[in-house]
Amino acid sequence: MDETNFNAPAFPSTPFLCVDTAIMDRNLAAMAKRAATAGLSLRPHAKTHKVPEIARRQLELGAVGLTVATLGEAEVFADAGCTDLFLAYPLWVTAARAARIQSLASRAALRIGIDSVEAARELGQAVADGGVEAVVEVDSGHHRSGCRPEEAGAVARAALDNGLSVAGVFTFPGHGYGPGKRRPAAEEEAAALAAAAASLVDAGIAAGTVSGGSTPTAAEADAGVLTEIRPGVYVFNDAQQVELGTCGWDDVALSAVTTVVSSAGRHVILDAGSKVLGADQPAWATGGGRILGMPEARITALSEHHATVAIPDGVPLPRRGDILRAVPNHVCAAVNLADELVLVRDGVPAGTWAVAARGRNS
C-alpha cells in the first residue's frame, strides 16, 4: 500500500480500516499450506475478520470449516453459505439460545464447546437429537475456560448420556501470547490435549478431533497429537504478532488509514483513537499500536478519537494533514469497531467488504 493515494476520491475520509488484499491472500495461502504440510485440518477462527467474503476464500483454500465465538457469528456465516461451524466457546444454553441452536443445526454442521458436566446436561436437554456435536474444552495453561484434561472423559460421558454426540477435545493456548512463550505454550497444549484424548478413550469415547492452535502457536503445533488448528489473526496480522515474531511488517494486511491532525515537539496526533484501533495493550507490548513505515515510532496514548504517536529522533516528522497507517495491537478488536473494510490491491482501490458479523456478540 506504500504508493496508494489515500486522498483519491475513491477512498472515504479518515479514519478507516484498509486491507491490502494481496498481502491477505498471501497470508491465507501460507497458513493453508502450513496446515496441509503438517497433516492438520485448518478451521480458521472467523471472529478476526467477521467477513463472509474472506471466509469463502479460506474454505476455497482447503479449510474444513470455520470457528466462531458466538451464536450471532455462526448465524451470519451460516446465512452466507458456510455449512460447517464450530462454536468454540462454553455456551450456557437458555431456551432462547436453544431455539437458535436448533435453527443453525438444521442448515449447518454444528459443533459447540462444553467444559463441565452441567453444561453438557443443559446443552443435551435443550437440543437433544438436534444434530449438534459437543467438543470438550480443556485448559492447557491459559487458565480461562476449560476443564482439567483428566476430567474430559467425564464431561464427554455426560454429553453422551444427555443425547449429544462427542466430536473430541479442544483447547486455546492463549498463554502463547508473550515474548518467548509460543513454544512452551504449544508443548503444554499438546500435553493437555493428549491427556484429554486419553481421558475420553478411558471413558469409552473416541476423540476424533483434537483441536488447538492460535496464530502464535500454529507453527509449533504438534501434529503427533493435534488433528486440527484454529488460528484467526493470521489473515491480517497485527502489531502484537510482529512483536511476538510471528510475522514481519510485510505480512501485515490491515491498517487504519489516519490523518495527522496536530503535533507538538516529537509527538503527532492522529484521528484514529481507541474507537478505531481498539484499546488492547498487553503488558509486554511496547505501545498502543505501531505505524507502518516507521518501525521505531510508537503509539504512546489512545483516547477515543486521538492517538498520540512518539516520533523518534532522526525520523522525518509528519506534518499536519499527512496520512499515516496505524497498525492496531489486536486486529480482532479493531475490526469489530468498523462497519466496513476498504480494500486496495497493488495500490489501487478495490472496493469494500461489510463487516457482516460486527457486534454479533450474543
User: pLDDT tens digits, residue range 304-329?
Assistant: 999 999 999 999 999 999 999 999 99
The percent of residues in the chain predicted with pLDDT above 70, rounded, is 99
pLDDT digits (tens, 9 = 90+) for 240-275: 999 999 999 999 999 999 999 999 999 999 999 999
Q: Quick one: pLDDT at residue 1?
A: 44
pLDDT digits (tens, 9 = 90+) for 207-216: 999 999 999 9
Answer whether residue 14 is part of any domain.
no
Provide the residue range defining the domain that includes 87.
21-235
d(CA 350, CA 4): 11
Whole-prediction pTM: 0.96
Q: Quick one: pLDDT at residue 130?
A: 78
Instruction: Say if residue 247 is in the same domain as residue 344.
Output: yes
Model confidence band, residue 2 (pLDDT cutoffs 50, 70, 90)? low
Rounded mean pLDDT, 125-147: 94
Q: Please state the domain count of the chain.
A: 2
- Answer for the pair 348, 308: CB distance below 8 angstroms, yes or no: no
| 83: its cell numbers | 455449512
Answer whether residue 289 is part of any domain.
yes
Q: Is 248 exposed, middle or buried (0-12, 13-18, 19+ CB in 10 A)?
A: exposed
Instruction: Say if residue 139 is in the same domain as residue 212.
Output: yes
Rounded mean pLDDT, 123-147: 94
Of 217, 235, 253, the domain-final residue: 235
Answer whether residue 42 is part of any domain.
yes
Instruction: Say if residue 180 is in the same domain as residue 75.
Output: yes
Answer whether residue 8 is part of any domain.
no
Of 235, 262, 284, the domain-final residue: 235
Instruction: Say if residue 225 is in the same domain as residue 271.
Output: no
- Answer for the pair 72, 362: CB distance below 8 angstroms, yes or no: yes
Rounded mean pLDDT, 40-47: 98
Answer whether residue 124 is part of any domain.
yes
Rounded mean pLDDT, 293-314: 97
- Answer for the pair 92, 122: CB distance below 8 angstroms, yes or no: yes
Instruction: Say if residue 92 is in the same domain as residue 207.
Output: yes
CATH number of the domain residue 45 falls in: 3.20.20.10
Rounded mean pLDDT, 111-136: 94
Instruction: Say if residue 156 is in the same domain as residue 196.
Output: yes
Instruction: Say if residue 196 is in the same domain as residue 335.
Output: no
Identify which of 246, 271, 267 has the alpha carbon closest to the alpha carbon of residue 321. 271
d(CA 236, CA 189): 24
Contacts of 263 (CB under 8 A, 6+ apart): 269, 317, 318, 319, 320
- pLDDT of 153 strictly over 80: yes
Instruction: Say if residue 230 is in the same domain as residue 245.
Output: no
Instruction: Say if residue 214 is in the same domain as residue 299.
Output: no
Rounded mean pLDDT, 2-25: 94
Instruction: Say if residue 43 is in the same domain as residue 73.
Output: yes
- pLDDT of 358 strictly over 50: yes
Of 171, 206, 235, the domain-final residue: 235
pLDDT digits (tens, 9 = 90+) for 48-104: 999 999 999 999 999 999 999 999 999 999 999 999 999 999 999 999 999 999 999
Model confidence band, residue 129 (pLDDT cutoffs 50, 70, 90)? confident
Q: Quick one: pLDDT at residue 281?
A: 96
The rounded mean pLDDT for the chain is 97
CA 210 to chain CA mean position, Å = 19
Answer whether residue 4 is part of any domain.
no
- Answer for the pair 81, 101: CB distance below 8 angstroms, yes or no: no
Instruction: Say if residue 213 is in the same domain as residue 278.
Output: no
Rounded mean pLDDT, 110-129: 94
CATH number of the domain residue 247 falls in: 2.40.37.20
Answer whether residue 268 is part of any domain.
yes
**What angle in degrees, to the nearest 10, is found between the helix axes of 95-105 and 71-79?**
30
Instruction: Say if residue 34 is in the same domain as residue 101.
Output: yes
